[in-house]
């Protein structure tokens, strides 16, 4: 692979900020401090010793986000809540949710998670069909299952070359699902000022093979909400599905609406909405590894089913893509929801919405910056005057970890509970003002920035990548996985 990429990968900046004393960004994290396991140890180590090692590592890594400078990812950020979820998880972690005969609790937990999420998404507004749902492993899992459901429905109707229409801003998980499931994806550009798609533009992309439209509430790049009501009308008019991606917003926007923020209806109150994804492992404040997919009509859900009754291992049937599933994750998700209740979610949402407003006010006060569209709890900002990645570069050593975006270059902040701590907005303002001065200087001098448009903060320094260099990107991924497998020299 080109030397450039190796050098860049080896020097991936420590995204975790200055408090981080570990070696997480090196190719051999922690090798200098803890035993390296080159083979399965013949004699195991005492539990207390292993747990102490884990405790030390986790405590150090937690410092990277505890100060409230990391976008997204740690949605709750409350160690008491995490301990509570871990206790719930621990009671059922060894249970396989596939085997309901010995763990009827899973039927209860999953059923109630779905019922509570349906309640939040106004399932009571559904008439004429019976709504249903599915707990999946995450947002991408919910989207994959939804696309599978629409594809199976299309196949059953004789449509063997189905396509899905999404606004450009809808999550890349739709691209992945279409890739995996052999569905054509049609991408519709958004209005650069509002960042939103129009129903008219979506209508132009529809043909007789279109199985569903996608709208986001809100979308990942800008936190803006697509015009779901008009997309719903369009879907009904054309007799196709409409998936609302509420992976990010599903557990926070409904409370924003209750609190009086400007949140348009995006759920089952909109007649054309046929499926909704909402991530419990984001603003549902559950453990990582769960999301909910809801169906207006259980008939569509049947597309998930797989059965093979002539296998020597026995008649097999699974209601979704996964086989064995952790009972612990269902128990912890359920525990998060019943502990917080509407009141808890609303209180957290109030803090998140007001913090996001305060942070956006700081951004709006900077003449060189502009906010993309009209966001709510998660926002993105760009600049026509300077290279915005210099801003990210300058703020990173202070502990800030944003996500980089492109077309236009922008930086993204999903406001979560850690940002609602006292002092975070003030620190954001002080560091941002300084960063703008730095960025102005660097941009004027024509110096290239380090940060780039990489989702989720994985390797920096790769800003110039395009799909024209697929081989090159594959080499980078090879080298990422090779690094994961490699051990430090003896």
171 Cβ contact partners less than 8 Å away, ≥ 6 residues apart: 139, 143, 216, 219, 220, 245, 247
Q: What character string, x for contact with ligand PLP (CB under 6 A) and - otherwise, covers 273-312?
A: ------x-----------x---------------------
By CB under 6 A, tell whether 173 contacts ligand PLP: yes
By CB under 6 A, tell whether 169 contacts ligand PLP: no
CB of 138 to ligand PLP, least distance (A): 3
By CB under 6 A, tell whether 197 contacts ligand PLP: no
Three-state secondary structure along 280-307?
Answer: CCCCCCCCCCCEEEEECCHHHHHHHCEE
Q: Are 14 and 463 in contact (CB under 8 A)?
A: no
Comparing C-alpha atoms, which of 24, 26, 12 is closest to residue 452? 12
Q: Are 410 and 380 in contact (CB under 8 A)?
A: yes
Cα 460 to Cα 463: distance, rounded to the nearest angstrom: 7
Residue of 247, 340, 427, 439 interacting with ligand PLP (CB under 6 A): 247
By CB under 6 A, tell whether 393 contacts ligand PLP: no
If the CB atoms of residues 275 and 443 are measured against ligand PLP, the closer one turns out to be: 275
By CB under 6 A, tell whether 267 contacts ligand PLP: no
Q: Which two tokens stand for residue 238?
A: 């054309």
Strand 184-188 with 241-246, pairing: unpaired
Return the bridge partners of 403, or none.
Answer: 412
Stretch in the footprint of ligand PLP (CB under 6 A) among 57-65, 215-223, 421-429, 434-442: 215-223
Cis (ω within 30 of 0) for the bond into 132?
A: no
Q: Tokens 């059965």 label which residue?
A: 307
Q: C-alpha dihedral over 344, 349, 352, 357, to 10 degrees?
A: -150
* CA dist list (Å): 245 to 261, 277, 283, 332: 20, 5, 14, 23
Residue of 16, 71, 216, 304 interacting with ligand PLP (CB under 6 A): 216
The site that binds ligand PLP (CB under 6 A) totals a number of residues, namely 13
Stretch in the footprint of ligand PLP (CB under 6 A) among 4-12, 58-66, 85-93, 245-253: 245-253
If the CB atoms of residues 22 and 133 are measured against ligand PLP, the closer one turns out to be: 133
Residue of 245, 267, 393, 431 interacting with ligand PLP (CB under 6 A): 245
Q: What character string, x for contact with ligand PLP (CB under 6 A) and - otherwise, covers 122-161?
A: ----------------xxx---------------------
Per CB under 6 A, residues contacting ligand PLP are 138-140, 171, 173, 216, 219-220, 245, 247-248, 279, 291
């Amino acid at each position: 692979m080109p030397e450039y990429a190796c050098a860049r990968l080896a020097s991936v900046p420590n995204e975790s900020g200055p408090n981080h004393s570990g070696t997480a960004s090196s190719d051999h994290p922690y090798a200098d401090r803890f035993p390296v396991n080159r083979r399965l140890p013949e004699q195991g180590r005492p539990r207390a010793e292993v747990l102490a090692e884990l405790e030390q590592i986790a405590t150090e890594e937690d410092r990277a986000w505890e100060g409230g400078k990391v976008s997204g990812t740690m949605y709750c950020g409350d160690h008491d809540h995490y301990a509570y979820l871990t206790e719930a998880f621990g009671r059922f972690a060894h249970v396989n949710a596939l085997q309901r005969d010995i763990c009827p609790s899973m039927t209860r937990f999953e059923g109630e998670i779905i019922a509570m999420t349906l309640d939040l998404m106004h399932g009571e507004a559904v008439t004429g069909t019976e709504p249903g749902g599915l707990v999946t492993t995450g947002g991408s899992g919910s989207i994959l299952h939804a696309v599978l459901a629409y594809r199976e429905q299309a196949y059953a109707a004789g449509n063997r070359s189905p396509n899905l229409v999404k606004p450009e801003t809808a999550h890349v998980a739709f691209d992945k699902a279409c890739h995996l499931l052999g569905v054509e994806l049609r991408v519709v550009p958004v209005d650069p000022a509002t960042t939103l798609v129009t129903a008219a533009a979506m209508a132009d992309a529809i043909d007789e093979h279109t199985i569903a439209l996608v709208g986001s509430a809100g979308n990942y790049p800008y936190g803006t909400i697509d015009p779901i009501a008009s997309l719903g009308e369009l879907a009904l008019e054309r007799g196709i599905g409409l998936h609302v991606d509420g992976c990010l917003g599903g557990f926070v926007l409904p409370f924003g609406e209750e609190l009086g923020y400007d949140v348009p209806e995006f759920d089952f109150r909109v007649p054309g909405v046929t499926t909704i994804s909402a991530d419990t492992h984001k603003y549902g404040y559950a453990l990582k590894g769960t999301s909910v997919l809801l169906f207006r009509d259980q008939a569509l859900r049947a597309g998930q089913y797989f059965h093979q009754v002539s296998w020597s291992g026995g008649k097999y049937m699974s209601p979704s893509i996964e086989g064995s599933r952790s009972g612990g994750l269902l128990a912890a998700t359920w525990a998060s929801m019943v502990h917080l209740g509407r009141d808890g979610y609303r209180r957290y949402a109030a803090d998140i919405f007001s913090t996001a407003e305060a942070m956006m006010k700081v951004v709006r006060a900077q003449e060189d910056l502009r906010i993309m569209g009209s966001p709510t709890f998660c926002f993105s900002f760009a600049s026509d005057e300077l290279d915005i990645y210099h801003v990210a570069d300058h703020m990173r050593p202070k502990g800030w970890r944003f996500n980089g975006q492109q077309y236009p270059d922008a930086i993204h902040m999903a406001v979560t509970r850690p940002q609602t701590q006292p002092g975070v907005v003030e620190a954001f303002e002080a560091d941002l003002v300084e960063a703008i001065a730095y960025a102005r200087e660097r941009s004027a001098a024509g110096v290239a920035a380090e940060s780039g448009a990489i989702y989720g903060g994985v390797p920096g320094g790769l800003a110039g990548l395009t799909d024209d260099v697929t081989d090159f990107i594959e080499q980078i991924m090879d080298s990422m996985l090779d690094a994961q497998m490699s051990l430090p020299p003896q």
